[in-house]
Chain A
Amino acid sequence: MNMANSHENKIQNLQGNHACALGAIAAGCRFFAGYPITPSSEIAERMALELPKVEGTFIQMEDEIASMGAVVGASIGGVKAMTATSGPGFSLKQENLGYAAATEVPCVIINVMRGGPSTGMPTRPAQGDIMQARWGTHGDHPIIVLTPCSVREIYELTIHAFNLSESLRVPVLVLIDEVIGHLIETIDLSLTGTQALAERRWASGPPKDFKPYAMTEDGIPPMPRPGDGYRTHTTGLHHSESGFPTQNPAEVERFIKRILGKLELHRERIENFETLECEDAECLVVAYGITARAAKRAVKQARAEGIKAGLFRPVTLWPFPEEAFRALAAGAASVLVPEMNTGQLILEIERHCPDATRVVPLNRFDGEPIAPVQILKKIKEQVSHD
């Protein structure tokens, strides 16, 4: 019998967290270190089942600090590596996440958001880590944050996260809310397409000329593959092209400008967003994750009633696709930002809206998702206001 959930069948009822693990395997991830935490544990569980089949390594570490350290170490060792966690665990991973950003070690971090602060509500959804995702670790640092809104998109974006991380040498975070992480949807994995896999640029040429943090034109220095004979040095201290610590002001400035500048240089590749009925929208809704699914329904219902509403869904949360958003926001009278927090992404939205555009929050932080009817009601209020 070929049932929907059998492993061989391409049409599956698949949970978001499991899709994440399968996406990671498809992307070539061969190392996972983690510490179980609701609502992300199914990712670790599935990785523990899948990695041995592809001769990969799964390790449950003593805590989240160590697991992030193990991921960085494995990646320096030349393997595509990932960890998964939730709120309190994500807080613990911040130090080594900063280390990965400063040493430009590719790695993928999955954060399935729960209610916070602190241990908060382990099994209930929230979108409270939007700013932590960007600024959780100290200092100016590069990071890319992707945010899926369906099981299928979790699979695709996990692959994309590895591609971006490996090719740009930057940590990539996939930010998922509990609803989407635990959601089971029928997906046809044969339709997910075969995304080309990006591989790391490895050092080549004479070892004596090798500079591990060379100032390349595209901002991305090739990495030394262990065993290839290149001498290297890896430190969280500010370093020169040689990899050794420096406090020379010119070298430090050049280093910081390069690691931040590579995201600007490759912005076009990184930025991703979805629009629905935005062209003539008077009320533009900006939403992500499960809230975007609710917003999509609300916008469709509004349109059916003749109300000019539209949806802008950032798939790349950071760096925020600001240019595309600005162009759409310029034509809207109001921008509505529903979020399962007390107002986080709205701060970024306000920054990019013209003064004449009214920016309106819709917040829920009681552990329940925002319903389509709540968004529709708020859209109607805006339109009658204008």
Chain B
Amino acid sequence: MKEFEIRFSGSGGQGLILVTRILATALVEKGMKIAQSQSYEPTSRGGLSRSDLVASMETVDYPLASSLDYLLILDEVAVEVSGEVIGEGCLVLADSDRVSSKPEGKYSLYTLPLVSTADKLGSRRVANLVALGALAGLGSFCDQDALEMATRFHAPKGFLDLNLDALRAGYELSIEAPRIA
């Protein structure tokens, strides 16, 4: 598998760090090595939150993102922060209801109703899994089976089905996602 950099960004409490851990677990099962970093504010809800993953077949030398291949923006608050590190040709996925502006840079933009899909499943808290399923569907950086296994590993037992439903719903969304720009 090719080396890549991915960022999950949004607002604190959206589960961005957890969903990055799920992807990290899935990738390591595929034989990759990862470095995951994060940045968040002292509050447990709200504020800017982001989590980055650098994935490589070799031990990662510089562990922080410097040229993103994939970027999720789940909240308007996270639009500006990634401008400097969006790599050329980056695949950007933004929530169609919660993100109205666009970051600087040359990239492919997709927008999908990630948060409202989670709402329809019964809990806004699984918008992170919807987003992971959708971004993985669009980017093909990790197959759904590995993601489901990793979700089973990380998800709280009582909410496993909901989390798996969210992951699958995200993937379904990606199949017919229109490219915006």
Convert B27-69 into 0s and 1s, putting 1 for each residue whose CB lies closer than 8 angstroms to a CB of A: 0110011111111111000000000000000011111101000
- Tally of A-B Cβ pairs under 8 angstroms: 80
Residues of B within 8 A of A369 (CB): 64
A184-B24 contact in complex given A1-B153, A13-B34, A123-B39, C-beta closer than 8 Å: yes
What's the least CB distance linking B22 to chain A, in Å? Answer: 10
User: B145 to nearest A CB, angstroms?
Assistant: 12
B98 CB within 8 Å of chain A: no
B152 at the interface (CB under 8 A from A): yes
B21 within 8 Å of A (CB atoms): yes
Question: How many A residues have CB within 8 A of the partner chain?
Answer: 28
Q: Which residues of A contact B37 (CB under 8 A)?
A: 179, 182-184
- CB–CB B62/A13 < 8 A: no
Tell yes or no: B150 within 8 A of A by CB.
yes
The residue from A3, A11, A13, A182 contacting B38, defined by CB atoms under 8 A apart: A182
| A294-B62, A297-B61 given; A184·B34 CB < 8 A | yes
**Residue A371 is within 8 A (CB to CB) of chain B in the complex:** yes
Q: What is the CB-to-nearest-CB distance from A377 to chain B, in angstroms, rounded to a whole number? A: 14
A293 contacts chain B at the CB level, 8 A cutoff: yes
Q: Is B25 an interface residue (CB 8 A)?
A: yes
Q: How far is the CA of A306 from the CA of B145 in the complex (A)?
A: 45
Minimum CB–CB distance from B135 to chain A (whole Å) comes to 19
| Alpha-carbon distance A297/B154, docked complex (angstroms) | 33
> B149 and A1: CB pair below 8 A?
yes
Most chain B C-beta atoms within 10 Å of own C-beta, residue among A38, A123, A290: A123
Contact B42 A184 (CB under 8 A): no
Which residue of chain B is the closest to A294 with respect to CB atoms? B62
Give the residue of B32, B38, B61, B149 whose beta carbon is less than 8 angstroms from that of A296. B61
Would you call A185 and B42 a contact (CB within 8 A)? no
Asked whether, in the complex, the Cβ of B35 is within 8 Å of the Cβ of A183, the reply is yes
- Least Cβ distance of A89 to chain B in Å? 15
In whole angstroms, what is the CA distance A168 to B38 when docked?
A: 37
Question: B28 — which chain A residues lie within 8 A by C-beta?
Answer: 4, 11, 13, 186
Inter-chain contact A122/B42, CB cutoff 8 Å: yes
Secondary structure call for the B interface? mixed
- Decide yes or no whether A5 CB sits under 8 A from chain B: yes
* Complex Cα gap A150–B66 (Å): 18
Binary B-proximity of A154-165 (CB < 8 A = 1, otherwise 0): 000000000000
CA distance in complex: A183, B21 (Å)? 11
Name the CB-closest residue of B to A152: B59
Residue of chain A at shortest CB distance from B35: A185
| Whole-angstrom CA separation of A186 from B60 in the bound complex | 9
- Distance to closest chain B CB from A31 (angstroms): 30
Supposing A5-B25, A123-B42, A184-B24 touch, asked if A372 and B66 sit within 8 A by C-beta, the answer is yes
A293: B residues at CB distance < 8 A: 61-64
A373 at the B interface (CB under 8 A): yes
Most buried by A among B29, B42, B64: B64
B61 surroundings in chain A (CB, below 8 A):
293, 296-297, 300
Contact B40 A123 (CB under 8 A): yes
Q: Of B25, B32, B36, which one neighbours A183 at CB under 8 angstroms?
A: B36
**Looking at the complex, which one of A11, A13, A150, A297 makes contact with B36 (CB distance below 8 Å)?**
A13
In the complex, per-residue mask of A47-66: 1 if CB is within 8 Å of any chain B CB, else 0:
00000000000000000000
Q: How far is the CB of A299 from chain B (nearest CB, A)?
A: 11
When the two chains form their complex, are residues A373 and B66 in contact, meaning their CB atoms are under 8 A apart?
yes
Cβ of B156 to closest chain A Cβ, rounded Å:
15
Name the distance in Å between B30's Cβ and chain A's nearest Cβ.
Answer: 10
CA distance A300 to B61 in the complex (A): 11
Q: Chain B contacts of A373 at CB under 8 A?
A: 66
Q: How far is the CB of B50 from chain A (nearest CB, A)?
A: 12
Q: Which residue of A has the minimal Cβ distance to B34?
A: A186
**With contacts A122-B42, A123-B42, A185-B35 known, is A179 near B25, CB below 8 A?**
no
Residues A296 and B62 in contact, CB atoms below 8 Å apart: yes
Q: Which A residues from 285 to 336 make CB contacts under 8 A with B?
A: 290, 293-294, 296-297, 300
25 sample A-B contacts, Cβ–Cβ < 8 Å, listed by A number: A1-B152, A1-B153, A3-B29, A3-B150, A4-B24, A4-B25, A6-B153, A13-B36, A122-B42, A123-B42, A150-B63, A179-B37, A179-B64, A182-B38, A184-B21, A185-B34, A185-B36, A185-B59, A185-B60, A185-B63, A186-B24, A293-B64, A300-B61, A369-B64, A372-B66
Other than the known A5-B154, A13-B28, A371-B64, what 13 A-B pairs have Cβ atoms closer than 8 Å? A1-B152, A1-B153, A4-B29, A6-B153, A13-B34, A123-B41, A179-B37, A186-B34, A186-B59, A293-B63, A296-B61, A300-B61, A371-B66
